[in-house]
Amino acid sequence: MDAFYVAVEVQKDPTLAGRPVVVGGAGRRGVVASASYEARAYGVRSAMSSVVARRLCPDAVFVHGDHARYQEVSGHLHEIMHRFTPVVEPIALDEAFLDVTAAGRLHGGPEVARRLRAAVAAEAGLSCSVGVARSKLLAKLASEAAKPRADHRGVHPGTGIEVVDGAAELPFLHAHPVRALWGVGPATLRRLEALGVATVGDLAAVPLDVLVGRLGQAQGRHLADLAAGHDPRPVVADRPLKSVSHEETFETDVDDSRALGDQVVRMADAVATRLRHSGHVGRTVTLKVRYADFTTVTRSQTAAPMDEGPALARVAKQLLTTVDVARGVRLLGVGITGLEPSGQRQLSLDGLFADDGDPGGGAGWTSATSAVDRIRTRFGSGAIGFAAAASDRPDPGRSRWGPDVAERST
DNA sequence: TCTGGGGTCCTATTCCTA
DNA sequence: TCTGTAGGAATAGGACCC
């Protein structure tokens, strides 16, 4: 999708159309989640701090964002995509790979892309760009080539559809900067630049043993394959969920362990609620702490499968006692991995003999938890929670892009 | 310049156990 | 019973994606 979050906000408020709009946290520690092409013309980019964005484009309209609405629209988009093929692999709310081998044989790849764009425009009222190619890597690069562009001269419309095939594949791939490859971020880019690699073409000329020596087996081989145009990864529908987490950056650093403990309970409850909605239980609880200097530590512990807030909170609070919070905590997070479908849950001795008096003890919380779920379904997520979780930030979804002070400001 | 949140994957190290 | 070893699980950290 093209500037997805912004496009959804413009649907809600058409007066935003054609203006520089930034979706993200407007506070001191907020970042840009999405910027309209008009804002990008001023140099505003996603993941940029909101302070910098405001400096670059003082006239931009800052909108907090409505994640629930984006999810809803995303669901509609996926419905549309599934009409073209059952093999849809979501990458993000606004992006997906579609294996249209069958439909493409019938109509031709570009024709499928044209119909998809038309359906998205007609039914969702949104603009998307489509790349058509034999592999995920080339399709991804092609879709980026099809997108609109913005620079200091203004906004330039994109082609909407780009097809890369046959003899055009390698020249197209090799002309890209190496940073365009999936898996090359700032750290890998520094290592590759040290080898004199600037483009994918440069990378393709580096001997495999040199790459493996610098980047390790997995990444070295992976990048060598991509640079040679080999990307056999299939489009996989229904990827299993691997982890669920919730983290928040505080407006100011917190060094009070009791206050942090209360936050842990609230976050554990949020994670457990999502875990139950996804129909999973998890075993390994991870606590994440980021300090003012941005160093980040994690602590994890594996226990019996769980999907209830008190059980998760008990482990996470125990982990909290193993880190130094007196330094001041900028970000706190709670997550769970080692997921399996809740139907496969095994009874633990702990759960069988647990006493209800201990939060997290086990079986005794199940009926209370399902009652909480029913109340939330009926009256909203803020309707009920654990006492320790009560705070002035009742809806975690509101703080997705950093602590915020203003719902909207110009 | 200042760096959010929700994820996935990889690597290195440590610990436990056969 | 002690010791060395190999493999797996747990743990911690980091890189990367949108």
What digits encode the pLDDT tens for the residues A45-84?
Answer: 998 999 999 999 999 999 998 989 999 999 999 999 999 9
CA of A17 to C1' of C18 (A): 23
Burial class (CB in 10 A: 0-12, 13-18, 19+), A128: buried
A297 touches strand C (CB under 7 A): yes
Amino acid at A408: R
CA of A186 to C1' of C5 (A): 39
Structure tokens at A57: 């484009």
Distance of alpha carbon A159 from alpha carbon A110, whole angstroms: 12
CA angle, A294 then A298 then A304, to 5°: 160
Residue pair A404/A25 in contact by the 8 Å Cβ criterion? yes
Closest residue (Cα, C1') to C10: A302
A94 touches strand C (CB under 7 A): yes
Partners of A333 in the β-ladder: A247, A288
Could you tell me the pLDDT band of residue A8, with boundaries at 50, 70 and 90? very high
A219: nt with nearest C1' to CA:
B10
Q: Which residues contact A252 (CB under 8 A, 6 or more apart)?
A: none
| pLDDT per residue as tens digits for the range A79-125 | 999 999 999 999 889 999 999 998 888 888 899 999 999 999 999 99
CA of A349 to C1' of B7 (A): 32
How many other C-beta atoms can be found within 10 angstroms of the C-beta atom of residue A383? 12
A121 touches strand C (CB under 7 A): no
Spatial CA neighbour of A348 closest among A362, A335, A334 = A362
End-to-end CA separation in angstroms for chain A: 25
Coil, strand or helix at A60:
coil
Distance of alpha carbon A394 from alpha carbon A396, whole angstroms: 6
- Residues of A recognised as catalytic: 95
Chain mean pLDDT for chain A: 86
Show which positions of strand B are touched by protein (CB under 7 A): 1-12
| pLDDT per residue as tens digits for the range A137-185 | 999 999 999 999 999 999 999 999 999 999 999 999 999 999 999 888 8
Q: Three-state SS string across A217-284, please?
A: HHHHHHHHHHHCCCCCCCCCCCCCCCEEEEEEEEEEEECCHHHHHHHHHHHHHHHHHHHHHCCEEEEE
A348 touches strand B (CB under 7 A): no
| pLDDT per residue as tens digits for the range A222-270 | 899 999 999 988 899 888 888 999 999 998 999 999 999 999 999 999 9
Closest residue (Cα, C1') to B3: A49
A140 touches strand C (CB under 7 A): yes
CA of A345 to C1' of C17 (A): 31
CA of A323 to C1' of C2 (A): 38
A302 touches strand C (CB under 7 A): yes
A241 touches strand B (CB under 7 A): yes
- Flag residues 256-295 of A with CB < 7 Å from strand B: 274, 294
CA of A207 to C1' of C17 (A): 27
Cα A163 to Cα A144, A200, A218, A310, distances in angstroms: 11, 19, 30, 52
Show which positions of strand C are touched by protein (CB under 7 A): 9-18
